[in-house]
Amino acid sequence: MQTSQKLSLPIMGCGTWAWGNRLLWGYDQSMDNQLQEVFNLCLSNGVTLFDTGDSYGTGKLNGRSEQLLGQFTKAYQGANQENICIATKLAAYPWRLTRQSIVNAGRASSQRLGRDVDLVQMHWSTANYAPWQEGILLDGLADLYEEGLVKGVGLSNYGPNRLEWAHKRLAERGVPITTLQVQYSLLSTYPITELGLKQVCDDLGIRLIAYSPLSLGILTGKYSEKGKYPPGIRSFLFKELIPKAQSLLSCLQKIASYKNKTMSQVAINWCICKGTIPIPGAKSLEQAQQNIGALGWYLDAGEVEELDRIAASLEKKMVQNIFQTK
């Protein structure tokens, strides 16, 4: 059985999903050194939570992101080395039909990382398309915890109703849910403002992790209404969102100038002020420095209120993850 231990989590983490998405489009060996530098910079500045997933990697789904993160962890020697917290997500693939398949997946992640997983998370709920599969997968997570293979269990893309159901199921085995990860930003307030997830998490003692806190880069100020948008599917999304988010972007810029910060830092800090753990992705040292600059200070209550008001008034919001449940 799993011995009682507390999983320490920082106020901000680094989401390696950004690395994974890049790798899905074609892995470039030359990126390794750059990503190692990003990892080192984040860790040396107190960002100790690194989030990844077993589905992040090449098109062969071979967990390349986990392998890289394992290499970076092993190579790093410096401040906060003993505080590294590795979180990974296990995909609810349709061919994972038994609890043992999840245990095997967890063991495979540990092998790729070259160390135990601190926080194992169900990548998404199957409630929207195969609810019969979900209980089996959760049992597998509980098995990993009971066997002492992980320190904590988390979920991703769960709404309050499904979260309470999963909490009850795992509690019957004495397995606590440590975290819940959802898409949350100034352009994606739905999980909290409409679903009320923060209150449910607080009541259940669950920490809320905010992924995509910069809304795929829209909240960084890098892209303007009349400027060039990124290629691919993001271009269509940005054309829809950016023209109708000008009031929010202007407010972010105003606060950033007053605080001598960047728009990215204000947007991330807003997530922190909301009591969540944001996990912005970083593929370059510049992006990592931007993220780190969101730490060590707080927006004041009036600034948070103004951002809340404008975000609530927007006609267009970020599209929700298709696996997000209610």
Please tell me what DSSP assigns to residue 283: S
Residue 275 Rama label (left phi>0; alpha psi -120 to 50; beta): left
Q: Which residues pair with 179 in a beta bridge?
A: 154, 207
Is 56 one of the catalytic residues?
yes
> Largest Cα–Cα distance of the chain, in whole Å?
58
- Please list the alpha-helical segments (H only) found in the chain: 17-24, 31-44, 64-75, 99-113, 131-146, 160-171, 190-193, 197-204, 233-241, 246-259, 263-273, 285-292, 301-313
Round to whole Å and give the CA distance between 35 and 50. Answer: 13
CA-wise closest residue to 271 among 155, 176, 191: 191
Is residue 189 within 8 Å of residue 313, measured between CB atoms?
Answer: no
- Phi, psi values for residue 221, rounded to 5°: 85, 0
**Which residues are CB-neighbours of 296 under 8 A, at least 6 positions away?**
none
Taking each helix axis from N to C end, the angle separating 263-273 and 285-292, rounded to the nearest 10 degrees, works out to 50
Is residue 251 within 8 Å of residue 261, measured between CB atoms?
Answer: no
Residue type (1 letter), 222: K
Is residue 44 within 8 Å of residue 80, measured between CB atoms?
Answer: yes
Round to whole Å and give the CA distance between 176 and 153. Answer: 7
Handedness of CA 158, 322, 184, 295 (dihedral sign): positive
Round to whole Å and give the CA distance between 299 and 281. Answer: 21
**Catalytic choice (27, 56, 129, 211):** 56
Handedness of CA 240, 244, 248, 251 (dihedral sign): positive
Q: Which residues pair with 119 in a beta bridge?
A: 87, 152
Residue numbers annotated as active site: 56
